[in-house]
Structure 1
Amino acid sequence: MTTPLTASYACGTDREPLITQTLGDFFDAMAARQGEHAALVSRHQGRRLSYAELRREVDTLASAMLRSGLRKGDRVGIWAHNGVEWVLMQLATAKVGIILVNINPAYRTSEVEYALNKVACRALVTMPSFKTSDYLAMLRELAPELDRCAPGELRAARLPELRLVVTLGDAEQPGMLRFADWNARGSADDPAVAEAAAALDAHEPINIQFTSGTTGFPKGATLTHNNILNNGYFIGEAMKLTAADRLCIPVPLYHCFGMVLGNLACFTHGATIVYPNDAFDPLATLQAVQDEACTGLHGVPTMFIAMLDHPRFKAFDLSTLRTGIMAGSPCPTEVMKRVVRDMHLSEITIAYGMTETAPVSCQSSTDTPLEKRVSTVGRVQPHLEVKIIDPQTGDVVPRGSPGELCTRGYSVMHGYWGDADKTREVIDAEGWMHTGDLATMDAEGYVNIVGRIKDMVIRGGENVYPREIEEFLYRHPQVQDVQVVGVPDAKYGEELCAWIIPKPGAAPTEDDIRDFCKGQIAHYKIPRYIRFVQSFPMTITGKVQKFKIREAMKQELGLRDAETA
């Protein structure tokens, strides 16, 4: 039996009260206090906005949304990389109670169709294309009716709830509205915006982010003003952010890392956001840090590695850097040490969480000893509780013993959109979110993630759930059975491997499988390793032993597990 002092349980401080305002009200108050201070720099767009200027643009867009017939509780998707429009959407939807739905830019036709229909999106803001992704072509495949309807009057058989498509491009598109033209409908002084804002409650949903699960289908983690605003604030507190800080954000905004650990950490402290590019580019990021005198830098380990190993790394002056966050996947100790030594990030922190907890539940701080920063994910955040339990009994384990990490408090999501059963599977009757991650807690309360109960693979900061990929590959006409696992990878942390049993008489090739995936699922979900087998390792009771598949692949490829922290 464990005592309170030896049990793997910790409760965060409550010295500072939680923010009770809505995101819109909080942002307005910040803009009123420091209107002339720089709020946002989007280097690839050549745009710079003060807090006062950003507020006017937010109010104008919020007005345009209301004048387009959108109302509190409606879902509006954004399918785009980082830029001014993304943050305008984040703040404008929050101001009038519209729920922003983050669509991963890597999604392809089947994935975006599922996401839009799952939460019944009324409108979608999308970039026209990016590299090899043609977003407008994908939308026309799903909704050919766009070519013969007026903007805002879409009636599509495959997207029955979608009415309005807004493009971030300059060219006019049949059935779509340009963002600039949509925005022009609004007014920064529209009294309807203030009226809508006054009717909101901080505990109402404001954001949906898709996260996959063992069912193979993405679930819409639904987050409130209270969830993400407070989480952003306490994340910034751990970094000791002030209005004097300038945070470089190369991580994607469609993910909590960008929109909460980045945008909201800044907005809650009056700091300046710097977007170096629409998507991550190591050279553009280094240039932005130098030119904008950034004091903070966020990234997943692979981003920091790409910058450290860039041939021109030593040509940049990074001496203004102080803090930031490394998160998204296990943080290798040696990479952390190089970041501290070579990038001047002496106060960089490590954060741990999941989308369902808005997302951060544990974080190191700027004064956490280096050995703890490279070997743990820090301690519990304020106003939250964490415990580590025996997955079989539910009992709290002694400190130092592994078990499932659970968290409780303001950050736990509203629920999975339209899926009460799945919500109950992860949030118990006492309000504890069961993360599925295996962890230990030391005598000082520092938490270390040691593995995963769930089957999740983390590839370069992206959470990939094998069951989702298996369900997709089952559709291939030559596939009888398939198992997907993660195998260690020096660059991405983990890579995907698919073991496939072909149908009798079939002889698919690796190229057949990859061609089947292209354009239908995100590129990072396409297995790097594909093997055709006659059977899977099984238990006596007929369960597939995935760990044996993983071990066999490690042996074949001469791999070792990536170093984790």
Structure 2
Amino acid sequence: MRNAGLGGWPARRAQMSPDRTAFVYADRPYSYTEVHERTTRLASRLRDAGVRAGDRVAYLGPNHIAFAETMFATHMLGGIFVPLNFRLAAPEIAYMLEHSGSSVLVYGPECAAQVAAVVRDLPGLPNLRTVVALESPAERELHYETWLSQGDPTPIDTPVALDDIALILYTSGTTGRPKGAMLSHANLVWNTYHILIGVDVTSTEVTLISAPLFHVAALNQTLLPTFLKGGMSVIMPSWDVDRCYDLIERHRVTWMFGVTAMFAALVQSPRWAGADLSSLRTLMSGGASIPVALIRAYQERGLVFCQGYGMTETSPGATFLEAGESVRKVGSAGVPVFFANVRVVRPDLTPVAPGEPGEVLVQGPNVTPGYWRDPEATAAALTEGGWFHSGDVATLDDEGHLYIVDRVKDMYISGGENVYPAEVEGVLFEHPAVAEAAVVGVPDDKWGEVGRAFVVPRPGTNVTPDEIRDFLRPRLAKYKIPIYVDIVDTLPKTGSGKIRKPDLRRRPLPADSEE
């Protein structure tokens, strides 16, 4: 087989374990043979639509079997898969489609309104030639199942090298524009190796895919390793506590990944005490540190976390804490994954002493080759020797275990979603009554962190918190809209005129909020 990338995985798995179940979606099982056939048919239709090696195919929608099929079909042709965050607003989606130059978009019915708004702007998206709807296609759109079923099942073997780009994953940029982090097939394969080293994944694994697949963690930390081992992935369209409990018990789930908000919701459910969780072997968390109290709650049920630290640009695993260390090293993100190197350094790049905060740098075969069509951002992030500057602050203990303590940048994580204040501030400044604005992340029991905006009105104008939020709703994803909005006269600043965000974070929360 000439396809050394992920596009060859369905054929290889179908040959090794043809009748084993690869996916369960909406209670329907899909065998590895069926996944291979459906993916091949879809790849032939993408080829008919003009997709060739290096071309981009985008997917927009909640978790679905079509996500995996579209990804593998794109890779079968040597194309680049662009999974988009379905929580984004239409202008954000349009920018990513234009920036990536995607020629095909596959989308779910939940995103019909965003796609309709984007399609109205088609003159600004000259590369987007084919739009495929999972359900109820609009005029000039194709119906996914019908289109796929008419595809040619003849095997496809396009030459693909491991260093070829497999994914473009958009991360919100600190300058207000998202950046497209490129991940090669090699990045994904090495990350999968790291998971198989750190977690005892088996061919009988039953993995619950409960976090969004457009995020690197759910895709690369659970679905791909499970597929490689020939296990079964149970795909949840969206997070629901009761549905999660039901699927764990029905399918005897052995492995799941989640963020703090998800694991906290399970504990807070009335079903927690009596739920049958006996099948679970591995719980894995990421996105933000799991609070120690939550870790203890699971330990009391005999369940431990494999925690880790990483980011989109590291595919994502950079460090990992194996289950055996989860009690002794509660709160740690672990040690460097097997084939990567991690340093914690001072501003002069010298190593920190144990307990001393410093910036996390990562080097290894799992590190991104750079950002799509953004050589300046690539040069800024990747320094000599291939070290990636994370922008995160951590400490190391005397055994080399990593503890994340802060961020160099102002980014915060709300319900597992990265939010960059500069992006929100950029939209706030578009409001005609806003003279100045600053956004910070503040603690929240439900979401981990939420946004708090400080707005200085222009002279002679009046604006209310509700008006600010109403202005943001059609322009930003819901999770990016600040829960708290303070209308203030001035913002604290340094002598050079920079806003003192630490001062803003220390202010008592206002009574006004929107939950």
- TM beyond 0.5: yes
Cα distance in 1 for residues equivalent to 2:112 and 2:84: 14
Match of 1:176 in 2: 141
Match of 2:316 in 1: 359
Cα distance in 1 for residues equivalent to 2:493 and 2:359: 25
Q: CA deviation digits over 1:311-359, x for unaligned, max 9?
A: 23334311111112111112101111212322x424x300210001111
Q: CA deviation at 1:541?
A: 1.6
Cα distance in 1 for residues equivalent to 2:169 and 2:234: 23
Match of 2:303 in 1: 345
Match of 1:418 in 2: 373
Tell me if the contact between 1:249 and 1:262 (Cα under 8 Å) persists in the aligned partners.
Answer: yes
Cα distance in 2 for residues equivalent to 1:49 and 1:461: 29
Q: 2:340 aligns with which of 372, 375, 384?
A: 384
Tell me if the contact between 1:23 and 1:95 (Cα under 8 Å) persists in the aligned partners.
Answer: yes
Q: Which letter maps to 1:249?
A: I
Counting matched residue pairs gives 510
Q: CA deviation at 1:519?
A: 2.3
Q: 1:54 aligns with which of 15, 24, 35?
A: 35
Q: Which letter maps to 1:181?
A: T
Match of 1:122 in 2: 103
Q: 1:466 aligns with which of 406, 421, 430?
A: 421
Could you say what secondary structure the match of 2:300 adopts?
A: helix
Match of 1:368 in 2: 325
Tell me if the contact between 2:357 and 2:393 (Cα under 8 Å) persists in the aligned partners.
Answer: yes
Tell me if the contact between 1:77 and 1:124 (Cα under 8 Å) persists in the aligned partners.
Answer: yes
Q: Which letter maps to 1:119?
A: S
Q: Which letter maps to 1:39?
A: A
Could you say what secondary structure the match of 1:314 adopts?
A: coil
Q: CA deviation at 1:232?
A: 2.2
1:181-192 to 2 correspondences below 5 Å: 181-190=146-155
Q: 2:256 aligns with which of 297, 301, 320?
A: 297
Q: CA deviation at 1:524?
A: 0.2
Tell me if the contact between 1:487 and 1:553 (Cα under 8 Å) persists in the aligned partners.
Answer: no
Q: Which letter maps to 1:366?
A: A
Cα distance in 2 for residues equivalent to 1:34 and 1:237: 22
Q: 2:229 aligns with which of 223, 247, 269?
A: 269
Tell me if the contact between 1:27 and 1:268 (Cα under 8 Å) persists in the aligned partners.
Answer: no
Tell me if the contact between 1:287 and 1:316 (Cα under 8 Å) persists in the aligned partners.
Answer: no
Q: 1:214 aligns with which of 146, 155, 174?
A: 174
Match of 2:183 in 1: 223
Cα distance in 1 for residues equivalent to 2:198 and 2:299: 17
Corresponding position: 1:140 with 2:88: no
Cα distance in 1 for residues equivalent to 2:278 and 2:356: 41
Tell me if the contact between 2:55 and 2:79 (Cα under 8 Å) persists in the aligned partners.
Answer: yes
For the structure 1 residues 103 and 159, does the alpha-carbon distance in structure 2 shift closer, same or farther, using more than 3 Å as the test? Answer: same
Match of 2:455 in 1: 500
Tell me if the contact between 1:142 and 1:158 (Cα under 8 Å) persists in the aligned partners.
Answer: no
Q: Which letter maps to 2:152?
A: S
Could you say what secondary structure the match of 1:125 adopts?
A: strand
Match of 1:260 in 2: 220
Q: Which letter maps to 1:126?
A: Y
Q: CA deviation at 1:28?
A: 2.8
Tell me if the contact between 1:353 and 1:361 (Cα under 8 Å) persists in the aligned partners.
Answer: yes
Q: CA deviation digits over 1:13-59, x for unaligned, max 9?
A: xxxxxxx94122344323321122221111xx232012222112111
Match of 1:287 in 2: 246
Cα distance in 2 for residues equivalent to 1:553 and 1:529: 11
Q: 2:79 aligns with which of 91, 94, 98?
A: 98
Q: Which letter maps to 1:429?
A: E
Q: Which letter maps to 1:368?
A: E
Cα distance in 2 for residues equivalent to 1:304 and 1:172: 36
Tell me if the contact between 2:319 and 2:335 (Cα under 8 Å) persists in the aligned partners.
Answer: yes
Q: CA deviation at 1:384?
A: 0.4
Q: CA deviation digits over 1:493-535, x for unaligned, max 9?
A: 1110000011111111111111111122100000000011111
Cα distance in 2 for residues equivalent to 1:357 and 1:60: 32
TM-score by length of 2: 0.96
Match of 2:289 in 1: 330
Higher relative contact order (CA 8 A, sep 6+): 1
Q: Which letter maps to 1:254?
A: F
For the structure 1 residues 230 and 28, does the alpha-carbon distance in structure 2 shift closer, same or farther, using more than 3 Å as the test? Answer: farther
Q: Which runs of 5+ in 1 are unaligned?
A: 1-19, 130-134, 146-155, 558-565
Cα distance in 2 for residues equivalent to 1:119 and 1:481: 32
Match of 1:4 in 2: none
Cα distance in 2 for residues equivalent to 1:269 and 1:421: 38
Could you say what secondary structure the match of 2:213 adopts?
A: coil
Q: 2:160 aligns with which of 200, 211, 233?
A: 200
Q: 2:56 aligns with which of 75, 78, 85?
A: 75
Q: CA deviation at 1:98?
A: 1.1
Q: Which letter maps to 1:32?
A: Q
Cα distance in 2 for residues equivalent to 1:92 and 1:490: 41
Q: Which letter maps to 2:331?
A: S
Could you say what secondary structure the match of 1:338 adopts?
A: helix
Q: CA deviation at 1:553?
A: 3.6
Q: CA deviation at 1:309?
A: 1.2
Q: CA deviation digits over 1:139-186, x for unaligned, max 9?
A: 3333238xxxxxxxxxx21222211111011x2420111111221331
Match of 1:7 in 2: none
Match of 2:389 in 1: 434
Q: CA deviation digits over 1:448-505, x for unaligned, max 9?
A: 1111101101111111000000001111111111000011111211110000011111
Q: 1:306 aligns with which of 241, 262, 265?
A: 265
Cα distance in 2 for residues equivalent to 1:252 and 1:138: 18
Q: CA deviation at 1:383?
A: 1.1
Match of 2:11 in 1: 28
Match of 2:20 in 1: 37
Q: CA deviation digits over 1:364-407, x for unaligned, max 9?
A: 113224131x220011111100111112x121222332100000
Tell me if the contact between 2:452 and 2:482 (Cα under 8 Å) persists in the aligned partners.
Answer: yes
Cα distance in 1 for residues equivalent to 2:137 and 2:209: 31
For the structure 1 residues 25 and 139, does the alpha-carbon distance in structure 2 shift closer, same or farther, using more than 3 Å as the test? Answer: closer
Match of 1:166 in 2: 132
For the structure 1 residues 369 and 206, does the alpha-carbon distance in structure 2 shift closer, same or farther, using more than 3 Å as the test? Answer: closer
Q: Which letter maps to 2:79?
A: I
Match of 1:518 in 2: 473
Q: CA deviation at 1:429?
A: 2.1
